[in-house]
Amino acid sequence: MNQSSGVVLIPQVAIVGRPNVGKSTLFNRIVGHREAIVGSQRGMTRDRKTAETDWNGVRFNLIDTGGIDQGSSEDLLRQVKSQVMTAVDVADIALLVVEGREGPLPVDHEITSELRRRGITLILAINKCDNPKVAAEMKLAFHELGIDLMYVIAAEDGFGVADLLDTVVGLLPETTDEGIESNLPTRVAFVGRPNVGKSSLVNTLLGSERVIVSDQPGTTRDAIDTLLESNGRQYVLVDTAGIRRRSRIGTHAEIASVAMARRRLKQADIALLVIDAEEGVTRQDLHIASDANRIGCGLIVVVNKWDLVDEEEESLRPQVEGIVCDRLGRMRYARVVVTSATEGSGIDSLLPLVDEVVQARSRRVPTADLNAAFEGMVGRHAPAGGTSGSQPKYLTQVGVEPPRFVAFAGGRGAARGDYTRYLENRLRESFNFAGTPLVVKLRRTQRLRRRTRHR
């Protein structure tokens, strides 16, 4: 059983193989929904991706890895192979997926040899079996790989996958829920335009090359989840693909990547919007920040690549937070931090800021304190149309993550957006809601009217 920092981890199963053999399709089939990006284009998965699943009540983590493609550039091939073998090193079982119709290729032999050298339990999944009647022939063709456990499957429609999983869970080490953290970790999504340094920041935080980093925009295609433990807290760092403007999205891979990034943003507790220090806050950055605000996750703006700014801009460093917040407009509540992933500067402040925003996002204000502050807010600035002493004026908190409030203030202008923003700003000042969206709904109180009965 794997252990890290005293926390019991559930068993790990890694899916490996060359590109376009159906690894991500099998991953999605086992997980039960579309998690990994799949398509006919070679090399759709470059990083490794993890999802928790179960089969017949046995829980395990399934790891989808990039295809080992001998046709890739030397540097990218080296990084992909490194990611694959890192996944294998932490796994209990490796599922080697091959293309059944093509038969064994030299690269399949190379991968098999590498896996054997690492001493991992190995199962062969011969995929893309269109006709179950030829399953025996496919098995015979792959006997030369020397793998005892072989299953012919069709990941697309599920043929043979159940038998494969029965064997997988039968070989996994036994574990229990004892010692597994019950509190859910904080989900932190690194979002932003392509090539602003999201993967580099994740790697620097982790202290290892957990995700592939390249100066080629769009290297990250899937959203990559990584568990990080620090100072007794757990975080899931989600490295997402760069989000381009719609007009600049071309290939199917890019469309799927951007859709995945937006989906992961919806699942996040905190969004770390990474921007390029030389370019500042662009219109696309504002769109992403607006998405985070609408979704309700906390927002931290990371001004990265500060090591590349010139001497003239360096003098602006003390004013960076104010400059960025002014540019953000409605999202000016975001926390701002200046970093350089390559030099490691500013990295130590990221997780403390995440913790601060998490606390703000889940903060509940005692009703007495809330209404004492609200009385002062209405006293300084009443809604258009004024208020009446006979009308109730109170504010109540109805939820958290993000904090949500309903105010009753009276006046015919009580439902106007500018008064909502006024209350939101005063709440931030009074109760330190930095970094989190607030939802404030206004209800106009009505005068009680006596009804007379005419006889």
Point out the least confidently predicted range of 210-214, 286-290, 331-335, 392-396: 210-214
Domain with CATH 3.30.300.20 in the chain: 367-443
pLDDT per residue as tens digits for the range 333-375: 999 999 998 898 999 999 999 999 999 999 999 888 998 998 8
Q: What pLDDT does residue 7 have?
A: 39
Inform me whether the pLDDT recorded for 447 exceeds 60.
no
Model confidence at 177, pLDDT cuts 50, 70, 90, reads very low
Fold classification of 367-443 is GMP Synthetase; Chain A, domain 3 (3.30.300)
Q: Which CATH number fits domain 186-361: 3.40.50.300, 3.40.50.800, 3.50.50.60, 3.40.50.970?
A: 3.40.50.300
The CATH H-level superfamily of 3-171 is P-loop containing nucleotide triphosphate hydrolases (3.40.50.300)
Structure-model confidence comparison of residues 333 and 449, the more confident one? 333
Instruction: Supply the pLDDT for residue 430.
Output: 92
Express each pLDDT in 210-258 by its tens digit.
Answer: 554 455 554 444 556 777 888 888 888 888 876 765 545 455 545 565 6
Say yes or no to pLDDT of 171 above 60. yes
Confidence of residue 124 (pLDDT cuts 50, 70, 90): very high
Query: In the chain, which segments carry CATH 3.40.50.300?
Result: 3-171, 186-361
To the nearest 10°, report the CA torsion of 302, 305, 307, 313. Answer: -70
pTM, 2 dp: 0.59
Residue 333 has a pLDDT of 95
pLDDT of residue 146: 93
Is the pLDDT at 384 greater than 80, yes or no? Answer: no
Q: Is the pLDDT of residue 46 over 50?
A: no
Q: How much of the chain exceeds pLDDT 90, in percent? A: 33
Q: What is the pLDDT of residue 438?
A: 94
